A and B are shown apart, each in its own frame.
Chain A
Amino acid sequence: SAVISQKPSRDICQRGTSLTIQCQVDSQVTMMFWYRQQPGQSLTLIATANQGSEATYESGFVIDKFPISRPNLTFSTLTVSNMSPEDSSIYLCSAPGLGSYNEQFFGPGTRLTVL
């Protein structure tokens, strides 16, 4: 298994500002993933964070808006830049368990409200 923590758990931000969300895994993993869950919706994959290389973004998401860092094998950050109310969502990270990529473990999420 893997234990994943996220900070902050929630935040209320003003439009035009940026927020950096942290994701910590209790084991070393090659890949980490960031998702967005808009109110009442399913999860949408934002990007794959691979240690030692640039993040790979899904269609509709760009690095300028969602810059990602992956400084080591247990940690990643997602920044939501120049926020607008449409960015109000839950942001989740995930990582695989030890020995298998078939089982992904998710963090508890960061609930972001943009005013």
Chain B
Amino acid sequence: DAKTTQPPSMDCAEGRAANLPCNHSTISGNEYVYWYRQIHSQGPQYIIHGLKNNETNEMASLIITEDRKSSTLILPHATLRDTAVYYCIASTDSWGKLQFGAGTQVVVTP
């Protein structure tokens, strides 16, 4: 699976959009991009995933560049409860095996 690179930390103002970048320059054509988050003292929570096209669900939007070498997770209206470590994972595993990187610690402030 391709290695992903994320900034170690980000601050975001409550109510504003949070844009979380992820680099995956060696991603292969059949690797999906997954985003999970881990709120303190809890198990990780799935957010969204995509292959080529941009994706949106009730939690977030995922924007993947045309060359697929990077992506951005967008939390449209950040709340204090969005404070968490966010993980970007590239994976081909069809059974759901995930290799976590270091992630981005996002702190949403009032």
**Interface check A57, CB cutoff 8 A:** no
Please, which residues of chain B bring their CB within 8 A of the CB of A45? Answer: 97-100
**Interface check B24, CB cutoff 8 A:** no
Please list the residues of chain A having a beta carbon within 8 angstroms of any beta carbon in chain B.
4, 30-31, 33, 35, 42-45, 48, 92, 94-96, 101-109
A-B contact count (CB 8 A): 59
CB pair A104–B96 under 8 Å, yes or no, is yes
Further 12 A-B residue pairs, CB within 8 A, beyond A42-B100, A92-B44, A104-B44: A30-B95, A31-B96, A42-B85, A42-B101, A43-B100, A45-B98, A45-B99, A45-B100, A94-B43, A96-B95, A104-B98, A109-B42
Please list the residues of chain B having a beta carbon within 8 angstroms of any beta carbon in chain A.
32, 34, 36, 38, 41-46, 49, 85, 87, 94-103
CB pair A105–B46 under 8 Å, yes or no, is yes
In whole angstroms, what is the CA distance A30 to B77 when docked? Answer: 37
Of all chain B residues, which has the CB nearest A41?
B102
Interface of A is mostly: strand
Query: Which one of A44, A95, A101 has the greatest number of beta carbons of chain B within 10 Å?
Result: A101
CB pair A33–B102 under 8 Å, yes or no, is no
In whole angstroms, what is the CA distance A106 to B94 when docked? Answer: 17
In whole angstroms, what is the CA distance A45 to B98 when docked? Answer: 7
Question: In the complex, which of the residues B36, B43, B99, B100 contacts A108, with contact meaning CB atoms closer than 8 Å?
Answer: B43
Please, which residues of chain B bring their CB within 8 A of the CB of A43? Answer: 38, 44, 98, 100
Quick one: given A108-B42, A108-B43, are A102 and B96 in contact (CB under 8 Å)? yes
Q: List 21 A-B contacts (CB under 8 A).
A: A31-B95, A31-B96, A42-B102, A42-B103, A43-B38, A43-B98, A45-B97, A45-B100, A48-B95, A94-B96, A94-B98, A101-B94, A102-B32, A102-B49, A103-B49, A104-B36, A104-B44, A104-B46, A104-B98, A106-B43, A109-B43
